[in-house]
Structure 1
Amino acid sequence: MTLRFLHTADIHLGKTYRNSPGSTQRYRDFFATLDRIVTTAINEKVDALLISGDLFHVGQILPRTFARTIASLQPLKEVGIPCIAIEGNHDWIHRRDSVSWMEALSQMGYIRLLRPTRTDDGGYRFDPFDEETGLGGRIKIGDVNIYGLGYIGAQAGSHVERICDAVTTENNLLLFHVGIWSYSPVEIGNMKPEEAHPLAGTFGYVALGHGHKPYIVETSDGQPYAFNPGSPERVNFGEETYDKGCYLVSFENGTFSAEFRTTAPRPMLVATIDLSGSQNAEQALERCLTRVGELLPADKRRPLLELKLVGKVSFHPFELGRERLRLALEEIASPLHVEIKNHLSLVSSAGDAATEKKSLAEIEQDVLRELIGSGSDYRGREDELVKLSLTLRDMLQKNEVDEDELLALLGTEET
């Protein structure tokens, strides 16, 4: 008997851009992606849809997000295809004193939320899923035993032995929201490949999540065992070159195999445009628009744009304002959302390098470096902490992190 599963992760329902004209459509993009995944699962007649964490973009979702999620999952419920899910770091509700949205979906029968129990000695116990309570650590579909772990933080590698020790069944599949160093593009919540390899002895297929770039992890002798589909939609700028999709997983004669199925994310363009030598703002604007026109993707849907303007110019960078650029870009690209980073530097008309003035970004970095360096505890780490400060600032401005998640990132991980 052949069993088939559709493995996806990092859907990030509820993601949008605050105070952006395209915020409503961007909000809908992620639900449209889930709708297409559900349709694929039904058309392929899979035995279960697997979601390896980060179904939601934040733990504290809006009621309309919850209602829309139910509408997306309803077709699976109607045809009897179970949706088996785990919690990712974005799904957490920190400092909570009530039931989470993931638990609510599970109790209502829209997903089967897998979460293990921890023992007094620090081990794991994967209790069978209880339909009445909507909780459990494992569930059996045909001959396959599906285990769920969720996100356990940066110390995940040290938990692998305890995880494997808790499994006594065969034909096992593990949902695990964790990244693998050297494969995953994220920098938080990863473990080393050599720490992950023992999972291959217990689980025939490890269904990963967390990193938004797809990858396959192989054992030291070249056998694939862990698969990360990445996010099916482009969640953040920087993902424009990633393949987007999910895995159609087959189990036959005791062996798992996987086929990558592409999805259709919204087009995204990230470009650095060098405007060096521009004598005035009009000339720089024309050069910028020409370059954007050359780089626009063939996909006719309204793209997401991130432009970084660099170079030494003979006019004040403020003359090429963001609003002026946005209006001009609307005519040639009609972007759904645009972000502009102005790193232009002003030079004298004579082009004397000695009279070059620093860009706004350079001034900002210098001020932060001086403030950080004034504390003796941080001397020698100025560059690292400046980069961290600016990264957190950018994430907050782009609505890529909420207050609870920020507290989690800055907090300590438990072992």
Structure 2
Amino acid sequence: MAKFLHIADIHLGFDRYDSRERTRDFFLALQDVLQRYAVEERVDFVLIAGDLFEHRNIQPATLNQAQLCLQDLQKAGIPVLAIEGNHDNRPYGTRTSWLKYLSEWGLLKLLEPGDVAAGEPFYFPWDDNTRRGGYVDLACGVRVVGANWYGAAAPKAIEQIATAIEALPPGPEHTVLMFHHGLEGQIARYSGALRYSDLLPLKMVGVDYLALGHIHKQYSVENWVFNPGSLAANNIEEASFQRGAYCVEIDDQGVQADLKTDYYQRPVVRLSLTLRGQESQEDLIEAAEKTVQAAIATGDLDPTAGPIVELRIEGQVGFDRLDLDIRQLQATLQQQSGALIFLLKYNVEAVAYSTPVSELSNRMQIEETIFTDLLAAHRDYKGRCTTLAKGLMDLKDRQLTGAVEPDLYQFIQAMLEDSPGKA
């Protein structure tokens, strides 16, 4: 029986939120997973099915993180087999990458097809001297085969890979193939995904375990296709995805893949607030603070854990939406929640009042309705819109009958002082 760990989409060097602590989260997740489920479980080997790094060009600190994790496995005598993903693959026309660098230094084996155009076979066995090869036969009874990142050309590449695997000399009883691509139907808004039928040629030539990467959500199909998802959520939307690392046992009875999710991950909390259009700025701020406080009270949000928090404010407001100081509110909520990163999604519309007007209404009734609607849409006047609308009608009549400006100003002052609920 062989035992191995399958991970993908680690994304070391993740920098989307411009936070050193958040970048470090991805290193801590990898380090914890490898210690718990590779070193402590004493697996025979580890698979990295693409996207070890977030970028092709990485910072020294990111390279150091990768080296530290891989050195821990090296000390434990656990080989690491890897392929490039779309994030860390070498640019077209170049001969090296940071994964290639790690491979040349003996920290992993980068398995990739040969240069057929230069006369090399599509697959040739791994050579420890040249640090090159497309597949490796392990003493635990497993042949591991690698692949490049193919993008839109993946369906055609699968046919080529299947033909090349079928032509390989006899080897271990079990075959594992690493392939960085996604399967259709797993997540929304993903174009270019493979159909399950596209993968079947690989099964027909004896691939027992297809180790995928690329999609950041865990899934498996027919106990043959496995994708562990990313180790950490790369954005708020991904927080709802199940993800982890597959601890796999393979023997004559088949494949037993157990998804491991108990490891270091920063908590992500998503909150929402819907407004009805009657709220002032002060009401909105108070409601937002209460939403955060309620999440803390129920235990859904732990300020001591330094979570990532998103609050979505939607609906309608009774004031100009641009009048609210979003940055100040965000800073206040971040302090109250103890969040490392607080994302405030402010997606509201100002209330548009439009009272139905009867076809039988006369001009004066229509004008009064318009005044009422305009006043009702203002945060300071909506509580006394009816009285003020009548006053504006009276003001208009006074102006049309020739009242002088001092008298009009005096009338306005009296109207505002006398109207119920005045500010």
1:177 alignment partner in structure 2: 180
2:154 alignment partner in structure 1: 156
1:39 alignment partner in structure 2: 35
Q: Is the 8 A contact 1:124 1:162 kept in 2?
A: no
> In 2 relative to 1, CA 186–344 (structure 1 residues): closer, same or farther, beyond 3 Å?
closer
Q: Quote the Cα distance in structure 1 between the aligned partners of 2:209 and 2:108.
A: 20
> In 2 relative to 1, CA 308–27 (structure 1 residues): closer, same or farther, beyond 3 Å?
same
The code of the aligned residue for 1:139 comes to V
Unmatched runs of 5 consecutive residues or more in structure 2? 357-369, 375-423
Q: Deviations over 1:268-325 (max 9, x none)?
A: 1234421222431111112122223444635551111233321111112223322122
Identity %: 33
Q: Determine if the alignment matches structure 1 residue 60 to structure 2 residue 60.
A: no
SS of the residue aligned with 2:11? coil
Q: Determine if the alignment matches structure 1 residue 82 to structure 2 residue 93.
A: no
Q: Is the 8 A contact 2:301 2:307 kept in 1?
A: no
1:336 alignment partner in structure 2: 340
1:146 alignment partner in structure 2: 144
Q: Quote the Cα distance in structure 1 between the aligned partners of 2:159 and 2:95.
A: 32
Q: Deviations over 1:91-127 (max 9, x none)?
A: 1243564621010000011111111125359997221
Q: Quote the Cα distance in structure 1 between the aligned partners of 2:150 and 2:88.
A: 12
Q: Which structure has the greater CA radius of gyration? A: 2
SS of the residue aligned with 1:174? strand
The code of the aligned residue for 1:71 comes to L
Q: Is the 8 A contact 1:155 1:189 kept in 2?
A: no
1:165 alignment partner in structure 2: 163
- Paired residues for 1:190-229 under 5 Å: 190-201=193-204, 202-218=206-222, 224-229=223-228
Q: Deviations over 1:10-55 (max 9, x none)?
A: 0100002454xxx111111000011112202000000111110000
> In 2 relative to 1, CA 291–139 (structure 1 residues): closer, same or farther, beyond 3 Å?
same
Q: Quote the Cα distance in structure 1 between the aligned partners of 2:197 and 2:272.
A: 37
- Kindly state the Cα deviation for residue 352 of structure 1 after the two structures are TM-superposed: 5.5
Q: Quote the Cα distance in structure 2 between the aligned partners of 1:175 and 1:48.
A: 13
Question: Which has the higher mean CA deviation after the structures are superposed, 242-251 or 207-216?
Answer: 242-251
For normalisation by structure 2, the TM-score amounts to 0.76
Q: Quote the Cα distance in structure 2 between the aligned partners of 1:277 and 1:114.
A: 59
> In 2 relative to 1, CA 123–103 (structure 1 residues): closer, same or farther, beyond 3 Å?
closer
SS of the residue aligned with 1:207? strand
- Kindly state the Cα deviation for residue 68 of structure 1 after the two structures are TM-superposed: 2.0
Q: Deviations over 1:366-391 (max 9, x none)?
A: xxxxxxxxxxxxxxxxxxxxxxxxxx
Q: Deviations over 1:52-90 (max 9, x none)?
A: 000001111112211221112211111211111110001
Q: Which contiguous aligned blocks of 4+ residues in structure 1 show a shift greater than 3 angstroms?
A: 95-98, 120-124, 292-296, 350-356
- Paired residues for 1:128-147 under 5 Å: 128-142=125-139, 143-147=141-145
Q: Determine if the alignment matches structure 1 residue 30 to structure 2 residue 26.
A: yes
Question: Which has the higher mean CA deviation after the structures are superposed, 162-171 or 233-242?
Answer: 162-171
Q: Is the 8 A contact 1:154 1:191 kept in 2?
A: no
> In 2 relative to 1, CA 131–314 (structure 1 residues): closer, same or farther, beyond 3 Å?
same
The code of the aligned residue for 2:31 comes to D
Q: Determine if the alignment matches structure 1 residue 126 to structure 2 residue 129.
A: no
- Paired residues for 1:288-303 under 5 Å: 288-295=288-295, 297-298=300-301, 300-303=304-307
2:265 alignment partner in structure 1: 265
Q: Deviations over 1:322-365 (max 9, x none)?
A: 212222212331111122232211125x5669989xxxxxxxxx
Q: Deviations over 1:221-249 (max 9, x none)?
A: xxx20100001111112012122211111
Unmatched runs of 5 consecutive residues or more in structure 1? 219-223, 357-415
Larger RCO of the pair (alpha carbons < 8 Å, separation 6+): 1
> In 2 relative to 1, CA 278–48 (structure 1 residues): closer, same or farther, beyond 3 Å?
farther
